Structure formats: C-alpha cells, structure tokens
Amino acid sequence: MQRGLANDNVTQFSETSVLGDYSAATGFVRGDPKTDQGTNMADAASYWRKTGITDAHGRKHFIDAFVQVEFHDVDELMQACFDFGGLGLGVQLPKSADDQFDWGERWTIVRNSPILGGHATELAGRNSDGDAVIATWNGITGADMRWIQEYADEAVAFFSLEYLDKRGLKTGGYDRTEIVKRLEALGRPTQPTPHLLGKKGPS
C-alpha cells in the first residue's frame, strides 16, 4: 500500500506493518479469522491520531485531526472529499457489490441482496460519469451515488501536516488556516492536536 503526499513524497507500507497496527487497534490475531471483528472508522482514526500508523521502514505517521462527515448529503460528502484528498467511507456491503467488483462492474443497487457486513473503503472522488470512485481490495471501482446513499454508514475526513508541501500548502492551495476552517465547517474536529490550530501544545 502507498499514499502520496502533497509534497510528492510517497510513503511505503507493507502487509506486515499494516496488519501490525490493525491487530493493535482491533485485537485481530493473524491466522485466526474469528478474531477479525473490525472497528468503526472513528475509533480507527483515533488510533491513527494518537498512536500512529507504522510504515514499511518502521516510521510512525500520524494524522493531526479528523472529523465525521454527513454521508447522506452527497454535496457535502464530495466537497469534503475534494478538500481533504479523499475520505474514509464505511459501508454495509451487499453481496451484489462483492460480485460486481469481481466482474469488473460498477456498484449499483441490487434489491434484496444480502448484507455481508461492514466494509471500509476510500472515497477518492468522482469520475466523468458522475460515479463515486472507490478504492477497495487493492483496486478501484465506480459506485452509483444512489448506492453510496443506500449503503454508506460512516464517513471520516482526515488531515495530517505531513500532507503540506514546503510552502505550507496542501493540494488545492489550502494553507493550515483554511484547512481548519474546512474541518470546522464539517463539524468540530475530533481532538485536533494543538499545533494544527496554532496553539502551543505540551512539550
């Protein structure tokens, strides 16, 4: 896995590093599927902010703030996606979506398809057809916006100062002050670290 930053650096993650943090955050024991109970996205974001996620080289990466987004409001959802370079999107995954992904098809509503359980994805934006662009299972798929409204049950926007370039700007030209404004417009940032808001934190 990898995630690009606004300064064009790329952080490398390995399966071992990712599963290590997943186990620490959720209690999952590798090799024992019965222990894989997942977690909600806000708890995962809290772990990311407080404990950090370890990359393939053993370095910790933190987010500085996160906020839950109103996922039923498509305009707000997509604006937040643009502002923060993507969102964590939790869905109640129907079996039809699992099948459609395997068949290379976009996600559309199939009535009476059984729910397999909760599933975390990344909402990356919208394509030229107006579909949501979803990153999941080490791949990309499109999703009808009505599908998002039907099955989404959680959306979280994240921000890290790592995403700023040498000028102190994020992709899109936002500086730290503007980022804070946009976080607050979505809802009170969840326990932002003091330096994000320009306040002196504990040493």
Predicted confidence (pLDDT) per residue in 144-174, tens digit: 999 999 999 999 888 777 666 555 545 555 6
| DSSP sequence for 13-81 | --HHHHHHHHHHHH--BTTBGGG-----HHHHHHHHHHT-EE-TTS-EE--SEEEE--TT-HHHHHHHH
Q: What is the pTM of this model?
A: 0.74
User: Please, how many CA atoms are within 13 Å of residue 178, restricted to the half-sphere of its CB?
Assistant: 12
Q: Which residue carries 């990466």 as its tokens?
A: 61
Q: What would the pLDDT profile of 119-137 be if each residue is shown by its tens digit?
A: 999 999 999 999 999 999 8
Q: What count of Cα atoms within 13 Å lies in the side-chain half-sphere of residue 15?
A: 3
Which of 79-88, 121-130, 159-168, 185-194 is predicted most confidently? 121-130
pLDDT exceeds cutoff 80 at 107: yes
Q: Residues of the chain with pLDDT > 90: what percent?
A: 31
Is it the case that residue 7 has pLDDT exceeding 60? no
Could you tell me the residue ranges of all domains in the chain?
A: 2-67+159-192, 74-156
